[in-house]
């Protein structure tokens, strides 16, 4: 081992020890949310990944799977601002971001800020609002700012959008535009609980006044400090190349010996490469490590890529989903 390698190894070990100490509030946060939510460990984990990696989350599942409750519990576990926005077909962009209001007494327009000016935003049933309302979130999600009239206002940090949606085959829903989908770092698909989990839900929640008591165990300062550590987590060159190969394989599957061209209309954008790297770093943080392993990438890759692979009609005709395509790629690309 060279001296340079030794310095790198020692710095990673020191970072890992620091991470193990700094990640305690987030382990407590997982436990607090888990006290209310039964059987959604993956969802809770991905919400923490989004919080640490400064990335927005899209949660899809049929009604009644505690998607909204999970986000609400997470917000209660953090001492920060929280707004729930119920998306409906008659919602207007001004209802989200705010508007200019004329005051006759002053004979001037003043800015009335909307509920988007908070820290954690729950966009509930986001696909029940038309495209113009969904697009109103684009600037806020990407640039962390909102323009009202001729003025631009920066949003406070941390700023995180966690949106829930029903599957598009449900009545009265509008599919999210590709540009909107790409703004979400992760898309988590929530399934039904198993029999034991359903029994636990019955025992815990079958009451006219179910107890949902989540204690605040983390602060915005904890989140920002943790993000600074996430940025320092080491990603080896081979793992960087592995991430790039996974993303490019969604665009050029033939280059990797995969016969998927007829099923993929558009592959993942460079934003997917960035988000997969950040999500893998956040995953390493939650495991108390100062370096990323290939398992961190594989664990999170499906949630980062599934909504960025646009399928062809041939794929739909053969009943192939984006999950099937991404899983095929994950199985085919050699792990470093």
Same domain for 205 and 259, yes or no, is: no
Tell me whether residue 33 is in a domain.
yes
Which domain CATH number covers 176?
3.40.50.300
Report the candidate in 52, 58, 55 with the shortest Cα–Cα distance to residue 71.
Answer: 58
Same domain for 226 and 250, yes or no, is: no
Higher per-residue pLDDT: 319 or 243: 243
Same domain for 198 and 264, yes or no, is: no
Which domain CATH number covers 282?
1.10.8.80
- How far apart are the C-alpha atoms of 237 and 41, rounded to whole Å? 31
Q: For residue range 33-80, what is the model confidence (pLDDT) as tens digits?
A: 888 888 788 888 999 999 999 999 999 888 778 888 888 888 888 888
Same domain for 205 and 126, yes or no, is: yes
Q: Check whether 121 has a pLDDT greater than 50.
A: yes
CB distance 36 to 315 below 8 Å: no
SS3 for 234?
strand
- Which residue range is the domain that position 311 belongs to? 234-336
What pLDDT is stored for residue 283 in this prediction? 94
Same domain for 159 and 194, yes or no, is: yes
Same domain for 52 and 198, yes or no, is: yes
Question: How many structural domains does the chain have?
Answer: 2
CB distance 84 to 122 below 8 Å: yes
Tell me whether residue 1 is in a domain.
no
Same domain for 248 and 181, yes or no, is: no
What pLDDT is stored for residue 1 in this prediction? 36
- How far apart are the C-alpha atoms of 51 and 161, rounded to whole Å? 10
Tell me whether residue 114 is in a domain.
yes
230: pLDDT confidence band, cut at 50, 70 and 90? very high
- How far apart are the C-alpha atoms of 71 and 66, rounded to whole Å? 9
Same domain for 44 and 139, yes or no, is: yes
Tell me whether residue 95 is in a domain.
yes
Same domain for 70 and 157, yes or no, is: yes
What pLDDT is stored for residue 133 in this prediction? 81
7: pLDDT confidence band, cut at 50, 70 and 90? very low
Q: For residue range 12-38, what is the model confidence (pLDDT) as tens digits?
A: 888 888 888 888 888 888 888 888 888
- How far apart are the C-alpha atoms of 251 and 260, rounded to whole Å? 10
Tell me whether residue 148 is in a domain.
yes
Same domain for 123 and 242, yes or no, is: no
Tell me whether residue 7 is in a domain.
no
Segment 213-227 shows an average pLDDT of 86
Q: Position of tokens 């935003």?
A: 121
Q: Name every residue whose Cβ is closer than 8 Å to that of residue 90 and which is 6 or more positions away in sequence.
A: none
- Percentage of the chain exceeding pLDDT 90: 26
Tell me whether residue 283 is in a domain.
yes
Q: For residue range 252-268, what is the model confidence (pLDDT) as tens digits?
A: 988 888 888 888 888 89
Tell me whether residue 5 is in a domain.
no
Same domain for 283 and 222, yes or no, is: no
Q: For residue range 145-197, what is the model confidence (pLDDT) as tens digits?
A: 888 878 888 888 888 898 888 776 666 677 777 777 888 999 999 888 888 88
Same domain for 290 and 321, yes or no, is: yes
What pLDDT is stored for residue 79 in this prediction? 83
Q: Check whether 94 has a pLDDT greater than 90.
A: no
- Choose the final residue of a domain: 199, 232, 265: 232
């Amino acid at each position: 081992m060279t001296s340079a390698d030794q310095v790198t190894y020692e710095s990673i070990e020191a970072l890992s020890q620091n991470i193990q100490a700094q990640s305690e509030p987030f382990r407590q946060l997982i436990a607090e949310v888990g006290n209310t939510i039964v059987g959604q460990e993956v969802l809770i984990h991905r919400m923490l990944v989004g919080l640490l990696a400064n990335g927005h989350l899209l949660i899809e599942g049929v009604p009644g799977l505690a998607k909204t409750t999970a986000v609400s519990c997470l917000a209660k576990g953090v001492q920060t601002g929280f707004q729930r926005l119920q998306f409906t077909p008659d919602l207007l962009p001004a209802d989200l971001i705010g508007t200019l209001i004329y005051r006759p007494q002053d004979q001037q327009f003043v800015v009335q800020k909307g509920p988007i000016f908070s820290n954690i935003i729950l966009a509930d049933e986001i696909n029940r609002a038309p495209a113009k309302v969904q697009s109103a979130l684009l600037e806020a999600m990407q640039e962390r700012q909102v323009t009202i009239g001729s003025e631009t206002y920066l949003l406070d940090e941390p700023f995180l959008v966690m949106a829930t949606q029903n599957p598009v085959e449900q009545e009265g829903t509008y599919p999210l535009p590709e540009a909107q989908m790409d703004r979400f770092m992760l898309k988590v698909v929530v399934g039904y609980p198993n029999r034991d989990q359903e029994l636990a839900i019955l025992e815990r929640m079958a009451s006219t006044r179910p107890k949902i008591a989540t204690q605040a165990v983390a602060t915005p300062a904890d989140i920002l400090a943790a993000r600074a550590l996430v940025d320092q987590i080491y990603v080896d060159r081979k793992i960087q190349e592995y991430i790039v190969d996974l993303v490019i394989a969604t665009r050029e599957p033939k280059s990797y010996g995969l016969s998927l061209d007829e099923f993929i209309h558009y592959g993942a954008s460079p934003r997917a490469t960035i988000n997969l790297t950040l999500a893998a770093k956040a995953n390493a943080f939650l495991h108390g490590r100062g370096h990323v392993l290939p398992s961190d990438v594989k664990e999170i890759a499906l949630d980062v890529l599934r909504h960025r692979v646009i399928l062809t009609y041939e794929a739909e005709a053969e009943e192939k989903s984006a999950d099937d395509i991404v899983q095929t790629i994950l199985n085919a690309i050699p792990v470093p």
